[in-house]
A and B are shown apart, each in its own frame.
Chain A
Amino acid sequence: MSALDLLRTGSPQECRPVPRMLLTRPQWGALAEALVADTGPELMALWADPASVYLLLREGATLHLVSCPAPDGRYPALSPARPGAVRFERMIRDLWGHVAEGAVDLRPWLDHGRWPVAAPLAAKPEANGAAVPQPEFLTVEGEGVHQIPVGPVHAGIIEPGHFRFHVQGETVVRLEQRLGYVHKGHIGLMLGKPAQVAATLIARLSGDSTVAHGWAFAQAVEQALEVSPSPRATALRAVMAELERLHNHLNDWGFVCNDAAFAWPHAQCGALREGVLRTCAAAFGHRLMMDRVVPGGVAADLAPEGTAAILAALDAVEAAMPGLLAVYEGHASLQDRVVGTGRVAPELAARFAAGGHVGRAAGRGFDARAALPYPPYDALPPEVPVLAEGDVDARVRIRIAEIGESLRLLRALLADLPEGAVQVPLPRRGGEGIGVVEGFRGDCLHWVALDEAGLVRAAFPRDPSWLQWPLLEAAIEGNIVADFPLCNKSFNCSYSGVDL
């Protein structure tokens, strides 16, 4: 039986837009085994609540959600079938205490031994009185191999994380990441809160993607409660999401050039981005548009002068693009740094189901706006650029293409903004839903279960970085240590988004 046939043998539970198939443990075990041979379905996310584990798969335009009770705190592992499951399994054990049997790696992930409790989201968390353990890193054997530990506090203004390099001469033999430093306890804080309050926490899951995560969470809540936001709210969400994509892509392009010691594009991109952020403040009242997407719609309508301000900012970006691109392409010293550096093999991007520019620069043409279309993109599909090279340059070029596409989408959206209210009230009742929105970094995926009073019973926010971070470890292999900042920036994964 194929994996999808197997999961259809479960008993369907109410969840929207797709039902959740409840599996018994033997059925889940059979599914985990079937997925080893059946490489079709992609693992999008794996998470838990105190009683069960949940798995979200995708094949084509369809999501498949399954769950399995774990009354004794055990469940059959998926990591032997899908490498992307490894970090999720480690995270599940740290937060809920459920152990993946047969897992590839069971070392702690988010739990550094510094919390007052162990398994803080379990039904009955236990006090943690143990001494803080030393982290264990994978080893490397060979002559002249030595280690370079970097972080958690980095030299630049970036998020904290630890990188353990094994190098031979100048060449990186292995990089291992150790994250979890910015674990704030997002999920625990969301539990028992009304959806609107949980949304403010989600807006701060990864600040650079506040719109995309806010929107995906709002979608999940709206699916759960069977409400639809107004066409105007939907269009305004897309305007904000495209502005967010634009300012982040400009930022990343500039920073990649800067990390290759080429300051001019960085200065130009920085100024253009500042123009976009000021426009966001003028149009929506906040430079990053935090808390502007709310379950049920958007917090406030576009300011009266907003459309004109946005269009002017778009014109400024468009006017600067040819010159910027000519300089990016025309300077051998810059091209020498980015072309061929930090290659991700397409097979690997596919196996990990890596989204965003990381996937699309390495042949995986998935963009949630096109592959799992949601309004308003169902009527306004984006062109999805795809490259096969998988190097730093390809990741930059995907961003450049998407900047152009965002300009087009924004103009189309603003030319045709529907009239009407911007919020619909949320009924007070229970439900379960999934939301997926394409952020600048990739697909932001949210699952939420609300109880009868409309409060969050369980939730999982999955940042796209979950499936991109592991590929950075592969991308740097065989490169020189000095190219790591460049590779890292070309990925620009979120720390906060995955540290939860």
Chain B
Amino acid sequence: MMQALQRMLWPKLARQLLGRPVTDPAPAVSAEVVAQLAARLEEGAQARLGRSLAIRQVDAGSCNACELEINALGNIVYDLERFGLRFVASPRHADVLLVTGPLTRNMKEALLRTRECTPEPCWVVAVGGCAVDGGLFKDSYGVEGGVSAALPVDLVIPGCPPTPTQLLEGLLALLEAQAPPRRDGAA
């Protein structure tokens, strides 16, 4: 009997429903980054996407540590989805391309094709030192030297790898920038 109870998921789920939440509070967002992104949005006369963003991650030559931290965003401690941010399986469903790696020559075409499949408006975010400018790999024959070698980049999130909190700050800034301007004039 005890053993059967131990194997059941319900008591465990109930315990967690009654316990203290494990999810962290949201990090603060940099007003400066939001302002820059909002300006970019105006400039491009892009349609606003509303209070939720679908993200397609593209590894363009990462060492896989950036992916580990991006994946960690989905765990219950960061709980990305509570902000209206979610990862999608197809670029055709995406508002954001989250690109890591120094952009290897062997991935350039795949990245460009992924961008072609992504509907407008689309934000391109370069994640990690590699994606920003090629990082440690910038002088190699095998890399293009950062995402901007192939695509215009809207936001960079540096770090090697950036922590989930840093990633979240960047993504929340994107959300903020898209929020419709408030009528009452309050910032």
Interface, chain A (partner B; CB < 8 A): 112, 114-117, 120, 152-153, 155-160, 180-185, 188-189, 200-201, 204-208, 210, 251, 264, 267, 270-271, 273-274, 277, 287-288, 290, 322-323, 326-327, 329-331, 494-496
Shortest Cβ distance from B163 into A: residue:
A287
Contact A114 B108 (CB under 8 A): yes
CB distance from A235 to the nearest CB of B (A): 24
Shortest Cβ distance from B98 into A: residue:
A157
Partner of B87, one of A157, A277, A326: A157
- Can you list 5 A-B pairs with a CB-CB distance of less than 8 A? A114-B106, A158-B59, A181-B104, A185-B140, A326-B6
CB distance from B156 to the nearest CB of A (A): 18
Contacts of B75 in A (CB 8 A): 267, 270-271, 273-274
Partner of A185, one of B78, B108, B143, B161: B143
CB distance from A305 to the nearest CB of B (A): 19
Contacts of B68 in A (CB 8 A): 207-208, 251, 288
Contact A290 B160 (CB under 8 A): yes
Contacts of B72 in A (CB 8 A): 270, 273-274, 277
Partner of B62, one of A114, A182, A288: A182
* A327 and B57 alpha carbons, distance in the complex (Å): 31
CB distance from B184 to the nearest CB of A (A): 39
Contact B64 A495 (CB under 8 A): yes
CB distance from A204 to the nearest CB of B (A): 4
Contacts of A158 in B (CB 8 A): 59, 67
* A329 and B4 alpha carbons, distance in the complex (Å): 11
Contact A182 B67 (CB under 8 A): no
CB distance from B19 to the nearest CB of A (A): 12
CB distance from A184 to the nearest CB of B (A): 5
Partner of B140, one of A189, A204, A323, A496: A189
Shortest Cβ distance from B137 into A: residue:
A184
**Does B26 lie at the interface of the complex (its beta carbon under 8 Å from any beta carbon of A)?**
no
- Which 5 pairs between the two chains have the least Cβ-Cβ distance? A207-B65, A330-B7, A270-B75, A185-B140, A185-B142
* A189 and B70 alpha carbons, distance in the complex (Å): 27
Given the interface pairs A188-B140, A189-B136, A270-B75, the reply to whether A115 lies near B90 with Cβ below 8 Å is no
Shortest Cβ distance from A162 into B: residue:
B110
Given the interface pairs A157-B70, A326-B7, A327-B7, the reply to whether A112 lies near B106 with Cβ below 8 Å is yes
Contact B65 A182 (CB under 8 A): no
Shortest Cβ distance from A275 into B: residue:
B77
Partner of A264, one of B9, B60, B101: B9
Contacts of B8 in A (CB 8 A): 330
Contacts of A251 in B (CB 8 A): 68, 71
**How many residues of chain B have a CB within 8 Å of chain A?**
52
Given the interface pairs A207-B68, A330-B7, the reply to whether A181 lies near B62 with Cβ below 8 Å is no
* A288 and B110 alpha carbons, distance in the complex (Å): 28
Shortest Cβ distance from A128 into B: residue:
B141
Given the interface pairs A157-B70, A207-B66, the reply to whether A271 lies near B143 with Cβ below 8 Å is no
Contacts of A183 in B (CB 8 A): 61, 104-106, 142
Contact B59 A271 (CB under 8 A): no
**Does B148 lie at the interface of the complex (its beta carbon under 8 Å from any beta carbon of A)?**
no
Given contact pairs A184-B137, A200-B136, a sample of 7 additional A-B residue pairs in the complex whose CB atoms are under 8 Å apart: A153-B114, A159-B67, A181-B107, A189-B137, A205-B63, A327-B7, A494-B64
Shortest Cβ distance from B143 into A: residue:
A184
Shortest Cβ distance from B102 into A: residue:
A184
* A66 and B31 alpha carbons, distance in the complex (Å): 60
Contacts of A185 in B (CB 8 A): 137, 140-143
* A370 and B141 alpha carbons, distance in the complex (Å): 39
Contacts of A290 in B (CB 8 A): 65, 160
Contact A182 B140 (CB under 8 A): no
Contacts of B58 in A (CB 8 A): 153, 160
Contact A159 B65 (CB under 8 A): no
Given the interface pairs A153-B114, A160-B110, A180-B106, the reply to whether A116 lies near B141 with Cβ below 8 Å is yes
Q: Which of B90, B105, B139, B161 has the most CB of A within 10 A?
A: B105
CB distance from B144 to the nearest CB of A (A): 10
Contacts of A271 in B (CB 8 A): 22, 75-77
* A129 and B103 alpha carbons, distance in the complex (Å): 20
**Does B69 lie at the interface of the complex (its beta carbon under 8 Å from any beta carbon of A)?**
yes
Contacts of A277 in B (CB 8 A): 72
Partner of A182, one of B77, B104, B160: B104
Contact B9 A327 (CB under 8 A): yes
* A42 and B7 alpha carbons, distance in the complex (Å): 42
* A114 and B70 alpha carbons, distance in the complex (Å): 28
Shortest Cβ distance from A288 into B: residue:
B65
* A153 and B105 alpha carbons, distance in the complex (Å): 14
Contacts of B74 in A (CB 8 A): 270
* A281 and B163 alpha carbons, distance in the complex (Å): 10
**Does B13 lie at the interface of the complex (its beta carbon under 8 Å from any beta carbon of A)?**
yes
Contact with A along B28-68 (1 / 0, CB 8 A): 00000000000000000000000000000111111111111
Find residues 74-106 in chain B having any chain A CB closer than 8 Å to their own CB: 74-78, 87, 89-91, 101-102, 104-106
CB distance from B25 to the nearest CB of A (A): 15
Given the interface pairs A157-B70, A184-B61, the reply to whether A120 lies near B136 with Cβ below 8 Å is no
* A267 and B72 alpha carbons, distance in the complex (Å): 11
Contact A115 B105 (CB under 8 A): yes
